Amino acid sequence: MIDKEQIERVGEGLLVRAPAKINLSLLVDGRRPDGYHEISTVMAKVNWYDELLIEKSEKSGIELLCAGRYWSPGGEENLVYRACKLLCEYAGLRPALKVTLTKNVPAGAGLGSGSSDAAAALVGLNRLLGLDVGEKQLSNLAARLGSDVPFFLGGPLALCTGRGEKIEKITKEFRFSAILALPNINVCTKRVYENCQHEPAVYKTLNARINHYIQKNRIDLIARLCANMLFESCLQLHRELAELKLRIEDMGAGPVNLTGSGSTLYVLFEGAEEQKAILWRETLTKSIGCECVIVNNNRW
C-alpha cells in the first residue's frame, strides 16, 4: 500500500485519513475497579486507511454518510458522529456538518478502525473550524470516546498503558511490512477479555522485558516476542482461528501474532523485506482461504 498524507483540502472541506493499527505486543493484567483490565501494549499505525470527508453544511446538525467496502453504523452509534458532537459541545458550537465516512478497513477485527475514525474526526474538525483546541484537551476528549482513540492522535508508534488511554510516544522508527490475514470471523472483545486467565507472573516478566527493549530502542525484539496475552483466550473461543494460525506457521511464513482481541492475524517482516511479504501473500491467499492484505508501518 502507498503512504498518503493525513489531511488534504478537498474543495471547502477536508479529507482526513484514519490509519489502522496492529499491536506489536499486548499484555493484560488484572481487572481494575472501573471494570476495565489494566493493559500495556505497543501499538503501531499501518498505511491502510479509512477516509473522512468533513464539510460544513447549511443544515444544522451532523449528517453522517457511510460508504466503502465495509459496514459501519450510522447516526449516534458511530464514533465519528459522537466525536463531532463532543468537540462541538466542548467548543460551544451548534454543529452544521456533513461527514462522509468511507470504510476501507473492517471494524471489529483488532485493527482499531473505529477508534482511528473518531480521532480523525477530532483532528479534522478542529482544523476545519479553526477551533485551536490544544493537544492535551483533544486527548482528554478522545479518552472519553474510547480507550484506543488517544493513540491515534499521535503515533506512529507508542506504548499505551492504563486501559489504553495513557500514551508514551516511541520516537524510534521501526520499519516493517506485515501480511494481515482477515478471516470472516466475528470476535467479541468482551468475551475474549472475560475468558482471559490472569497470569501475574507472566505479565510482570514480559512487561519488564518490553520496557527494557523500549529503553534500548529495540522495537524489533518486542515484535519478535509475539506477546499477546489475549491470543490464547481468543483461540479457545474460536478454534477455526487456532487452525488458521497453525496452517500459516506450518507453511513457514513466520511466527503468527494476533492484533488486539482479534480476529486479524498477522505475520511481520522487518526492514526491507517487503518483497518477501509480497511473495508470501500470494502463497497464503491461494492456500488458506481468507483475504490477505500487505501493510507497512505508517509515517505519521
What HEC string does the chain produce?
CCCCCCEEEECCEEEEEEEEEEEEEEEEEEECCCCCEEEEEEEEEEEEEEEEEEEECCCCEEEEEEEECCCCCCHHHCHHHHHHHHHHHHHCCCCEEEEEEEECCCCCCCCCHHHHHHHHHHHHHHHHCCCCCCHHHHHHHHHHHCCCHHHHHCCCEEEEEECCCEEEECCCCCCEEEEEEECCCCCCHHHHHHHCCCCHHHHHHHHHHHHHHHHCCCHHHHHHHCCECCHHHHHHHCHHHHHHHHHHHHHCCCCCEECCCCCCEEEEEECCCHHHHHHHHHHHHHHHCCEEEEEEECCC
Q: How far is CA 30 from CA 206, 229, 262, in A?
A: 15, 12, 20
Q: How far is CA 65 from CA 13, 54, 62, 134, 222, in A?
A: 15, 10, 10, 28, 39
Which listed residue (4, 21, 136, 220) is catalytic?
21
CA–CA separation, 261 vs 229, rounded Å? 9
In the annotation, is 21 catalytic? yes
At 65, list the grid cell. Answer: 454518510
Which listed residue (136, 148, 166, 245) is catalytic?
148
Catalytic residue IDs: 21, 148
